[in-house]
Amino acid sequence: MPLIQQSTYQPPRFLGISHIQTIYPSVFRTVDGIRYNRERLQTPDGDFLDLDWSCIGSKKLILGLHGLEGDSNRAYIRALVKFFNMKGWDGLGLNFRSCSGVPNNLLRSYHSGETEDIHQVIQHIVSLGKYDEVVIAGFSLGGNVTFKYLGEQGKNVHPIISKAVGVSVPVDLTSCSHELAKWKNAIYQRSFMNSLKEKLVHKKDKFANEINFDALFKATTFYEFDNEYTAPVHGFKNAEDYWKQSSSKPYLPEIKVPTLLVNAKNDTFLSDQCYPIDIAKQHKYIHLEMPEKGGHVGFMEHNPDGFYWVEKRIWNFIDQKA
């Protein structure tokens, strides 16, 4: 599939700087007009997933997957759901384990390569018998999960899934982890570390003998955190093994549904390896768009309706106006 050479995204004047694009929407953007109905889905291993629905009686559904330490109430998920509701679609925001505001039951949590949970959610959606079409839109970590899942499914992907979109996706986790460890990203890495460790405080008494919590709480980088917690708890040898096995890039060639990947060239989280130009050039289904600006899950616009470029871009792709 030819690369999308000319992106339509143009940032507001003086707001094209990567850090402004990344931080401002995360801190200041609000999206009103969405009232979720929560459903708790029990998992086979004794845990649960909280699903937040915004239904208008449609036979089409947009499924939004949030990023690292996000949730269904992040502005980019709420805006996605609201926009698609306005277009006549139902919306669903999946909260990964431990991300719904309620601690999950197990020592394990979610991670960048966890696809069993999304598979269960898709099966659940199918079992409802309400929908003819489902589109998955993943942001950052959620995009990596989306692409890895679709690549794993390959030709066996359920036909109800018609298209997929990933925004600001770290498809190569090893190089992105090194990128986030650089001084330019210190504020983001520190924020993620604080949030991740805060969620593990309540697990210390219950699972005190299973991991080294003292070492874990001293972690300041993704390498240290993933080495002490993510890798051993989720069955990987170490951080490098977790990153290698969980990256979606090796799975991209196996994706069999039309897919849009939007990664801004000035995304400070992403490494050069996260722009799979060669794969996209040879792929039947993958459309790669690389706006010059946009930051990480940014793509701000000043519009009276409050929507950003990214919601409209996702809709245009889904509506076959790619």
Q: Which of 52, 90, 226, 267 is catalytic?
A: 267
Q: Is the distance from CB of 242 to CB of 234 less than 8 angstroms?
A: yes
* Catalytic-residue membership of 162: no
- Please give the backbone phi and psi of residue 199, each rounded to the nearest 5 degrees, phi first: -70, -20
d(CA 158, CA 125): 11
Active-site pick, 111, 234, 287, 296:
296
127 is catalytic: no
Residue by residue, what is the 3-state secondary structure of 120-171?
HHHHHHHHHCCCCEEEEEEECHHHHHHHHHHHHHHHHCCCCEEEEEEECCCC
Contact 231, 239 (CB under 8 A): yes
Q: CA 108, CA 98: separation in Å to the nearest integer?
A: 9
**Set 7, 98, 140, 246: catalytic member:** 140
**CB-count burial class (<10 Å; 0-12, 13-18, 19+) for 209:** exposed
Question: 13, 300 in Cβ contact below 8 A?
Answer: no
Asked if 236 and 132 touch (Cβ cutoff 8 Å), the reply is no
71 annotated active-site: no
- Helix (H, G, I), strand (E, B), or coil: what is residue 285? coil
The catalytic residues are 140, 267, 296
